[in-house]
Structure 1
Amino acid sequence: MDKAKVSVVVKKYTMVIALILVTLFFTWKTGGKMLLPQNVTNLIAQNAYVFILATGMLLCILTGGNIDLSVGSVVCFVGAVGGSLMVNKHVNTYLAILIMLGVGLLIGAWQGFWIAYVRIPPFIVTLAGMLIFRGLSNVVLDGLTIAPMPDNYLELFNNYVVNPLGGNGINLTCMLAGVLACVIYLVVVFNGRRSRTKKGYETEPMAGVVVKSVIICAVIFAFMFRLAQYKGIPNVLVWVLVVILVYAYITSKTTIGRYFYAVGGNEKATKLSGINTDNVYFMAYLNMGFLSAMAALVTIARLNSANPTAGTNYEMDAIGSCFIGGASAYGGTGTVPGVIIGATLMGVINLGMNIMGVDSNYQKVVKGLVLLAAVIFDVVSKKKSQ
């Protein structure tokens, strides 16, 4: 393989390489504690909201580097509404969940209207939303914490998938899920490659596809093995996977998904081609409101309470994960898998430093430097390509 091809591969998988190196570093520094089964499970539980919010934030960023500063406050507000309904008003859990999702959609539509159709800058609208919904959260909660959440609600988001297969110290259902995930991945990859070959499109060399597939399947299997050694598959992982798979499909396989990239690449040309760019902006923020409500569902389940400080700095985690995961600060570039890698990297850094007992102030410094480095890499790469 010549230097040019090596350079392309390194650039394409920079964050994957960084994630592996950072994981190995913290595994070494923590004496192996980083990869203990319970810590792997904690990595999922503690960062579920980041995976969900970052997926929605990607759609906003794709439209031209726009962001949503209100998501942390929206998570708090929707959680406050849900907690009040379920605990204080004794509303049916499933009805309360539907109301929470509906509130998220209404908030997304409200902000999307001003951004898409009135053309108020997203920074201003969402900054206002950050203040409005944080204030409304305190109004709904009256400054108090509501707890605990109903048991049937916690079972949905804060429990583990049933293990009918049993196993002596190893959750066999979890291991079977890992095998099925690998099989599905291989079928999708090789069917996709065969389809591209038939259509005459350029494809990766078979050797590269095989090596990448082996590595990914090994990571999936090792990850599921660690979960199987603890309590199995957390329910929250199932919810996160549903969000990731749905939005990965939307952004890569659907017409509306291509519109997000087109608007971020060149809005004027997109409008001239007959696409209603206002609707694209509206959909981006409508989805962000919906996914903020989803994040609220998993957040109050994990905390087992709705409190006025929930969601603090969540927007920073989501935005940082997107840029670290390869989304361009200029819009038009980024993928859901890339964002998930970025979110996982942030989660690994957080967990590793927590295990090492690093002061929280230094943790913020490290995360800030990682974010800055990712954006610098994006800007420098764009200048070189031009």
Structure 2
Amino acid sequence: KVFTVAALLENGLADLNDSIDIGNGRWTINGRTLSDVHVESEQVTLREAFYESSNVGIAKAALVLPEGLHYQSLRDFGFGTRTGIKLPGEVEGVLRSPDRWSRQSPQSLAIGYEMSATPLQMAMAYGAIANGGTLMRPRLVREIRDANGRTLERLEAQEIRRVVSPQTAAQVGRAMVDVVETGTGGAARIGSYQVAGKSGTARFATGGVYQSGDYSSSFIGYFPADNPQLVIFVKLDRPEGGVYYGGAVAAPVTRSVMEAALAANILDIETLVESATEPVEVVSPDRYAEYINTPVPIPLSPELPESEGGADAVAIPDVSGLPVRFAVRELHKHGLRVTEMGTGDVVRTYPTAGSVVTRGEVVRLRSGGQDDE
């Protein structure tokens, strides 16, 4: 849906405020019935159809998209071609040319069916939105160093092509923020920073036939939305437990990965743009701990003496009196994960300031105006 909307906006065929009649959330076209789960209104804007992941809304919007233009836009984003990554066994994925489409293909492709893509292709395409519309060539190595840490060779980033204008990329990115702030991707939200993302739920195809009850759940996003540093793609095949929507299954894992990245000090925190969104969600300290229970081996500076835990230990800084969002930023800079509790100024932390803990530890915040447990 992201790339359908991008093609519509880039070619002046639609506006995010355009109104779409989705009726009762079911629409039959060329023998195929599309249905919606999350949307309740009969009339929605294209923006609402996007952040509520309306199959009917996006498919109807795509009626004005010429087949050749639709196909070329997907190709420009890198689908149907190898990325050029230096790994054996890479495949092209599936994206058939328009002369091989059926009558159902335009609407199916508009909502992500009748094509397949590798996780790297997905990350690369979303990276183009994050990079202001420019598709970049993926690379495994940033630089080569000798045994003494001296840089021998630096492999520069390479642009492949401009896919959409910076204006279109910004519009799509803002709509992806709406997915997290308002729509189906709320479970990927981080209280202090904005996340741009999109959930996905698709049925598996066996022998060319999509199977009912057999799902793949995904969420892909970039972070932080205003100054992207990471693109994260999470895909779970055949999730168990009766829940299979991407926003419910994959988005929480995406959030855990982002939290781990913040705690591991692999991001330039000084340049992260903080979200003004309030209030901050209250979450359990052990949420999804099974996904990130091993600290990332990146040294902290300054290191503590060996007697106090060594390089994997850190003293919790005193953030009392700071607004929650600034306290979170300071704790992340020290390699700590954070459970935010409420808004306003921080009263205390658990464990308390000065405590020596392992890097990656969860620190709970208690803000003013809240009763103690």
Normalized per residue, the structure richer in strand is 2
TM > 0.5 fold call? no
TM-score (norm 1): 0.26
Q: Which has the larger radius of gyration?
A: 2
TM-score (norm 2): 0.26
